[in-house]
Structure 1
């Protein structure tokens, strides 16, 4: 199963990507995780990416495309993968088609999770992330353990710079201008399936299961 996840930042793509990864036993490939790992380790790529991410802007195509291309050619992707955070533009989608064509593969489905902007601002403003293992929480919907620590590893959880309201607004603006056109792009290819993101994570998961039921 080869899947691309679409949706605005804060729509719940990451959570559903983990679920799909477990259901189909395929790797969850998140460009955000790759960039954050490089930022944490202080690599040259990380330093470059941080300049853009902290401003709510997209990392340049040439950097992102090379990273994704290398990742998809690793052995654990032979039976499929789920891409979360890539492609973000029609240009990147075209490049992904080229990469897959070289591999003799095609996408099975593009899953689009729709959530209103107002709901996303509420969600992301309350989001917290573990500084060690990366586990994601929300102060209302899925709070961390008492003392603002991770339930998984016990380390402190924080609000990332790109989850602050001013950055969220910039990220949404960038999404609408550059990423929404992908909906039409994949509709033309008969790959797109859209589900409405729910307030409750489990309800969204049920919708996703139903949407992928025939896959």
Structure 2
């Protein structure tokens, strides 16, 4: 009965805003009254996405969306009670494809991918209390503590785009950080709902890493063999000419990271395996860890990622 009402609401969204108001009012009533609301809401996971899409279509004029912004929030809050925030951690060794598939996951789920480095720089730039502490430590040549990083994450996930969840990339790196993250999320009434690990044999990663080029501002990743930019030209020795390596979307120059070398990769892999295995073991009892074979074509990897992201009722 609930699912039928939800589908009816979706059809009305496609027609016009006025009828969408009645459709989602029906859904809200079912949410409030159903004795089996949890299972019903599992079937109706698209509600928040439909609301968000309609808000965008109406130029984010939420005050006019259904005529009552408070009513919309009430339905969203009720939905969130039974369908917790989608909090995902993306793991993978250097060259596994996080830079390729992370943005696709972000677009599909409609939640932001958060990098600790980006969050740290943003907090320092914004002059937040935690950002000031981090800046002082970095200026003194020290390492930012786990407590400060957790504080930066706590501040960031209060922002509107994290309302329905977020993806962590590059954190946690240690078991201690994972436990600190769990505690912080528990204080927020949330928890990690999915851990996805992109698996690639170490022997395959060297070719991937040494041929990788990055668009710094967006994080888009290219490879001279597997995913070259459209602009790439080769010299007489069949190596890419640096001046021709530009981003497909913006035309801006691409770069190679200083640690994208065979020698650096060996050390990075030792560190990754030593740190990641205990974290995966920490989350496995919760039933949230999914391994993806990333040593295959991009379509195959993406198919496994999609399967790993499906919730279980």
Structure-2-length-normalised TM-score:
0.59
- 8 A contact 1:14–1:84 mirrored in 2: no
Partner of 2:225: 140
The structure 2 residue matched to 1:194, chosen from 286, 291, 297, is 291
Structure 1, unaligned stretches of length 5 or more?
A: 53-57
Q: Tell me the distance in 2 between the aligned counterparts of 1:177 and 1:142.
A: 30
Larger Rg: 2
Mapped to 1, the partners of 2:304 and 2:111 lie a distance apart of: 20
Corresponding position of 1:112? 197
Higher alpha-carbon deviation: 92-101 or 165-174: 165-174
State the TM-score, normalized to the length of structure 1.
Answer: 0.83
User: Aligned match of 1:64 in 149, 152, 173?
Assistant: 149
How far has the Cα of 1:33 moved from its partner? 4.2
Shift of 1:60: 5.1
The structure with more strand, counted as a fraction of residues: 1
> CA offsets, 1:79-102, max 9 Å, x none?
011111111111111011111111
1:10 paired residue number: 95
Label 1:91 to 1:113 Cα distance change in 2 as closer, same or farther (>3 A). same
Q: Secondary structure at the match of 1:185?
A: helix
Task: Judge conservation of contact 1:135–1:152 (CA < 8 Å) in 2.
Answer: no
Instruction: Name the residue aligned to 2:159.
Output: 74
Aligned positions, number: 206
Deviation above 4 Å: which 4+ runs of structure 1?
Answer: 32-38
Larger fraction in helix: 2
Over the aligned positions, Cα root-mean-square deviation in angstroms equals: 2.8
Q: Measure the CA separation in 1 of the matches of 2:89 and 2:151.
A: 17
**Which 10-residue stretch deviates more, 95-104 or 159-168?**
159-168
